[in-house]
């Protein structure tokens, strides 16, 4: 074994006090029980404290050149402790391997190779040991770790394991899904906190090891001539420094820990609108509201949208639109219960900037449909909704349906689409979530049919204030289901909550990212959702709360200016509803 300084501990001290080379003990087949391995270190130094004679084993020895590493009193304590050995004409310091049972890590980490410490789950997965070492060297418990290339989530996994907060991101939905599953399915050791009342930020309780040095023995006032080996060892231990092992916190075996709360969100990058766009957005009818055909989307908004939130992330068609139109013609729009809106044609729409396809439904009574595609790598925003509607009003014949198809929708855009009812506009406005496989050619080929465009139901959420009882003055949210477009009769119908797999509540939504303060699994059975977690953490979970988190009514809460409810149905389709608290 290599110890401090990298030199081999090539000598052994037997239980009877004899010292010899390690290989000689092996050759002679000696009993090594109770033996201590050691190596010799030079007692000479280039600097004082002293150049003085030392009497050892009947010989008087001075340093051949330079100085001794300690003074006369310290040297005598080393002799009394049995820590000096004569080799030829040289006095050496005896350093036992257990003087410091740990050793510093250099810049070469042979223990982190892919062949050490387990098998990788993914080809490009970084060894958790590498991430762990980097994290322990540079952060403390409670610190925030950022990994902008999530991959399989190793950084987030290791950060969670060691009590660090983390943020990670990736452009691939596959990577994010793998990381999410890996974190949700993991359990970790529960480390004892240094100060339990202060939380994880106070650090953990770590194991420590003695660090016996030449200096600590030479300055030890308890060591004197005539002491037994046990007395000497006890005195040395009392005055030795202690080194903290930051990779070995104490583990509370009575507890198990799971991943803390986290959310998976897409946050749009802020962009700046051009002056032309601002001018278009601020034109109003100076004579007051006229017909529905003359009204802008701003007339139906509750309040003016800040310029930053109304930014447009893209304009005009992209190279993907031809592929998306072809796919839409082939697969149609999938609705609730396996029903579809199928098209007899899906073609480019000339003369428009925000409407990207003109289609006609199949059936006895065909209807004209126009489609506005969202951007490839960002959210469909509210300004696109407004401008697409303005273009749709100029078309003749007038479309029956305007579809906004996107990979993700900005919450304000979703609110705007909800506000544009058929009664107000004469058109039906629908949102369709595009399958992310459309961005990846190799995944698209393996995809099941009719899975490219899903009609998204809008959450039906009631927000009410509690007027009596112990929670008087607080609020509750109830998810009553989805409002779905009936592909058979063309009407919007309310659905019950029986197909809601999961819903999340942010009681103080900031308009950009959802922080899930309450999470519910309404259709989870005894083996899913919070029930599964409850079985693993019986001593930590309140059974009544577990039952409450399987429902569709939130726990009482004190709201901020607005709340957000994200609902995920049994198809995995997500929808967000933002509500002002008035």
Residues 449 and 463 in one domain: no
> Would you state the pLDDT for residue 524?
58
Give the bridge partners for 58, in sequence order.
Answer: none
What's the CATH code of the domain at 494?
A: 2.60.40
Does some domain include residue 290?
yes
Same domain, 448 and 578: no
**475 is a domain residue:** yes
Flag whether 155 is in a domain.
no
Instruction: Choose among 562, 268, 262: nearest CA to 407.
Output: 268
- Tens digit of pLDDT for each residue in 332-376? 988 766 678 899 999 999 889 999 999 999 988 899 999 999 988
Count of the separate structural domains present in the chain: 3
pLDDT of 179 = 86
List C-alpha distances in Å: 153 to 111, 121, 178, 512, 520.
21, 11, 7, 23, 25
Burial grade of 490 (CB within 10 A; 0-12, 13-18, 19 or more): middle
More confident residue, 94 or 481: 94
* 119 located within any domain: no
Query: Quick one: 402 and 503 in the same domain?
Result: no
> Is there a single domain that holds both residue 376 and residue 301?
yes
For 524-538, write each residue's pLDDT tens digit: 566 655 666 666 665
Distances (CA, A) of 475 to 102, 461, 467, 502, 554: 56, 13, 9, 20, 9
Which has the closest alpha carbon to 215: 74, 42, 32, 94? 74
Tell me which of 17-31, 69-83, 251-265, 271-285 is least confident.
Answer: 271-285
- Same-domain status, 323 and 409: yes
The residue out of 422, 456, 490 marking a domain boundary is 456
The lowest-confidence range among 144-158, 305-319, 364-378, 431-445 is: 305-319
Higher pLDDT, 384 or 28: 384
pLDDT tier, 120 (very low <50, low <70, confident <90, very high otherwise): low
Which residue did the predictor score with more confidence, 535 or 400?
400
Name residue, tokens 């092996």: 26
Rounded distance between C-alpha atoms, residue 127 and residue 109, angstroms: 12
Question: Alpha-carbon distance 242 to 206, whole Å?
Answer: 11
Give the pair of three-digit tokens for residue 580.
């002002």
- Asked if residue 172 is part of any domain, the answer here is no
Whole-structure pTM value: 0.57
Domain check: are 364 and 295 in the same one? yes
For 352, half-sphere exposure in the C-beta direction (CA atoms, 13 angstrom radius) is 24
Averaged pLDDT for residues 26-43? 85
Q: Where is mean pLDDT largest: 129-143, 165-179, 489-503?
A: 129-143
DSSP per-residue codes, 354-383: S--EEEEE-SSS--EEEEEE--SSS-B-HH
Contact 354, 392 (CB under 8 A): no
Residue 322 placed within a domain: yes
How much is the average pLDDT of 490-498?
A: 69
**Domain assignment present for 405:** yes
Instruction: Show which of 456, 472, 506 is a domain's final residue.
Output: 456
For residues 451 and 327, membership in a common domain is answered with yes
Q: In whole angstroms, what is the distance from residue 570 CA to residue 504 CA?
A: 15
| Whole-angstrom Cα Rg for the chain | 36
Q: Is 160 strand, coil or helix?
A: helix
Q: How many residues are there in the chain?
A: 582
Helix (H) or strand (E) holding 134: helix 128-138
Percent of the chain with pLDDT over 90: 40
For residue 269, pLDDT over 50 is answered with no
558 and 433 assigned to the same domain: no
Is residue 115 situated within a structural domain?
no
On the question of pLDDT at 301 being above 60, the answer is no
Write the CA distances from 192 to 135, 163, 165, integer angstroms.
Answer: 19, 11, 17
Do 299 and 280 fall into the same domain?
yes
Residues of the domain holding 276: 270-456
Are 357 and 473 within one domain?
A: no
Domain identity same for 413 and 278: yes
Where is the domain boundary, 456, 475, 492? Answer: 456
Average pLDDT over residues 553-582: 85
Predicted confidence at residue 277, as pLDDT, reads: 47
- What's the farthest any 2 CA atoms get from each other in the chain? 117
Q: Provide the mean pLDDT of the chain.
A: 81
The CATH number assigned to the domain holding 370 equals: 3.40.91
Same domain for 471 and 572?
A: yes
């Amino acid at each position: 074994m290599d110890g401090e300084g990298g030199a081999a501990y090539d000598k052994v001290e037997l239980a009877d006090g004899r010292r010899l080379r390690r290989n000689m003990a092996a050759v002679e087949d000696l009993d090594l029980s109770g033996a201590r391995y050691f190596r010799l270190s030079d007692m000479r130094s280039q600097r004082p404290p002293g150049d003085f004679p030392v009497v050892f084993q009947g010989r008087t020895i001075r340093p051949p050149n330079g100085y001794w590493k300690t003074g006369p009193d310290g040297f005598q304590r080393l002799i009394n402790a049995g820590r000096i050995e004569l080799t030829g004409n040289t006095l050496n310091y005896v350093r036992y391997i257990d003087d410091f049972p740990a050793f510093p890590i250099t810049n070469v980490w042979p223990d982190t190779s892919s062949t050490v410490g387990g098998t990788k789950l993914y080809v490009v997965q970084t060894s958790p040991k590498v991430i762990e070492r980097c994290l322990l060297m540079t952060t403390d418990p409670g610190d925030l770790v950022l990994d902008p290339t999530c991959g399989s989530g190793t950084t987030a996994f290791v950060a969670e394991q060691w009590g660090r907060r983390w943020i990670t991101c990736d452009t691939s939905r596959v990577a994010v899904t793998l990381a999410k599953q890996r974190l949700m399915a993991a359990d970790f050791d529960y480390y004892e906190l240094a100060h339990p009342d202060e939380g994880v930020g106070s650090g953990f309780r770590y194991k420590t090891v003695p660090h016996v040095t030449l200096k600590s023995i030479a300055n030890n006032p308890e060591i004197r001539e005539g002491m037994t080996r046990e007395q000497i060892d006890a005195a040395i231990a009392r005055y030795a420094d202690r080194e903290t092992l930051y990779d070995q916190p104490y583990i509370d075996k009575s507890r198990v820990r799971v991943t803390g709360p986290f959310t998976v969100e897409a946050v749009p990058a802020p962009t700046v609108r051009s002056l032309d766009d601002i001018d278009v957005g601020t034109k109003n009818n100076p004579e007051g509201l006229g017909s529905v055909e003359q009204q802008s989307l701003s007339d139906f908004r509750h309040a003016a949208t800040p310029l930053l939130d109304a930014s447009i992330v893209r304009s005009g068609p992209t190279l993907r639109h031809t592929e998306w139109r072809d796919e839409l013609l082939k697969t149609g729009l999938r609705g609730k219960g396996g029903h579809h809106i199928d098209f007899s044609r899906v073609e480019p729409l000339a003369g428009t900037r925000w409407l990207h396809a003109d289609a006609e439904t199949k059936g006895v009574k065909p209807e004209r449909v126009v489609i506005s595609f969202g951007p490839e790598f960002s959210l469909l925003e509210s300004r696109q909704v407004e401008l697409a509607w303005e273009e749709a009003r100029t078309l003749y014949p007038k479309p029956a349906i305007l579809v906004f198809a996107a990979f993700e929708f900005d919450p304000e855009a979703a609110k705007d689409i909800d506000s544009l009812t058929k009664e107000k506009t004469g058109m039906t406005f629908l949102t369709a979530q595009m399958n992310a496989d459309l961005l990846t050619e190799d995944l698209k080929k393996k995809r099941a049919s009719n899975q490219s465009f899903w009609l998204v139901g809008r959450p039906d959420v009631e927000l009410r204030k509690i007027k009596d009882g112990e929670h008087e003055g607080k609020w509750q949210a109830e998810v009553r289901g989805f409002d779905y477009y009936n592909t058979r009769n063309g009407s919007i119908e309310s659905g019950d909550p029986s197909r809601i797999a999961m819903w999340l509540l942010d009681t103080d939504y900031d308009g950009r990212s959802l922080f899930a303060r309450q999470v519910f699994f309404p259709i989870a059975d005894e083996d899913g959702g919070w029930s599964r977690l409850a079985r693993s953490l019986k001593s930590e979970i309140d059974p009544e709360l577990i039952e409450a988190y399987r429902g569709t009514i939130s726990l009482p809460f004190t709201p901020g200016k607005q709340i957000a409810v994200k609902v995920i149905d049994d198809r995995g389709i997500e929808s967000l509803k933002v509500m002002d608290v008035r």
